[in-house]
Amino acid sequence: RMRKVVSAGSLSSLETDARSRDNRPQKQVAPISAEPDIIDALRDQVRDKLRNFVHSIKELLKDVDSSSNSRDMLDRLTFMASMENGFFWDDAYASDQLDDVSKNHTFKAVLKKIHGLMCMHPDEVEPKSKEVRRRLTFFVNSLFMDMPDAPSIHDMFSWNVLTPYYSEDVTYSKADLERRSDALGVSTLLYLQTLYKPDWHNFLERLGIKDEDKVWAKKYVDETRRWASIRAQTLSRTVNGMMYCEKALRLLANLERLDD
């Protein structure tokens, strides 16, 4: 009987305590953030370097020119650097952009070239070939000319190129390049290698050839014949120049989003 009274009292007190706890104001629990901060040391390092680069460009524009174009560029740089959801302040967006860039093979190739130019001495960057320097000088000078706007591909006339020739080789054969000349006493290819030494070294580097004897391998023979013909045959240079025009037109059509 005593046990039954104690049990009843105990249950009554437990129910009272439970009701009092339910009526007591509960503390607010801070919600757990669903998007934790991303710690990315490489991202932060890249952003710091880009910030310094943008700041240097802005200071350069302030000191060099005060035209409307410079002010417009300054406003664009300031807006880009201050966007809250942009690369400089949005951690998740910046990490995603760097991940996408790291998978882009074209960007890797361009970045490798830029890194090489930035790390090399100015004397090493300047092309050693006289012909290359002549072409670059001509191209840079043409940028300061008052050129009319180029018409669209749709508005252009069709191009027809006629190159007359008679009994002339367009591309040297392997036998022609290895044949020794009576006047020079050396083969045509050796003469061209000596005359265009920097171009020949660049040619070997571009194809990844370590041993010069491999230039006649099946994989490289056509490139070797083309390299020699462009430098020794006027007709071959003419045809090659017209092919450059075709590449330029195709690039222009691609930029204009033409499918045909």
Question: Over the stretch 19-35, which tens digit does the pLDDT of each residue have?
Answer: 555 555 555 554 544 44
Question: Over the stretch 214-233, which tens digit does the pLDDT of each residue have?
Answer: 899 889 999 999 999 998 88
Sorted by sequence, the CB contacts under 8 Å of residue 163 that are 6+ apart come out as 235, 238, 239, 242
pLDDT of residue 28: 53
Residue 258: phi, psi to the nearest 5?
A: -95, 130
User: 92 and 38 in contact (C-beta within 8 Å)?
Assistant: yes
| Continuous H helices in the chain | 2-23, 41-64, 68-82, 91-102, 105-119, 122-125, 130-142, 174-178, 188-195, 197-207, 221-232, 234-255
Residue 229: how many CB atoms within 10 A of its CB?
A: 22
pLDDT of residue 26: 54
Question: Over the stretch 168-196, which tens digit does the pLDDT of each residue have?
Answer: 888 888 888 888 877 767 888 899 999 88
Distance, in Å, from the CA atom of 59 to the CA atom of 74, rounded to the nearest integer, reads 9
Task: Show the low-confidence residues of the chain (pLDDT under 70).
Answer: 1-40, 42, 63-68, 184, 258-260
User: 229 and 189 in contact (C-beta within 8 Å)?
Assistant: no
pLDDT of residue 204: 92
Mean pLDDT (the chain) is 77
pLDDT of residue 30: 47
Sorted by sequence, the CB contacts under 8 Å of residue 86 that are 6+ apart come out as 80, 93
pLDDT of residue 40: 65
> Closest Cα to residue 224, out of 190, 258, 183, 254?
190
Domain boundaries, the chain: 43-124, 158-256
pLDDT of residue 156: 82
pLDDT of residue 6: 44
Distance, in Å, from the CA atom of 231 to the CA atom of 171, rounded to the nearest integer, reads 11
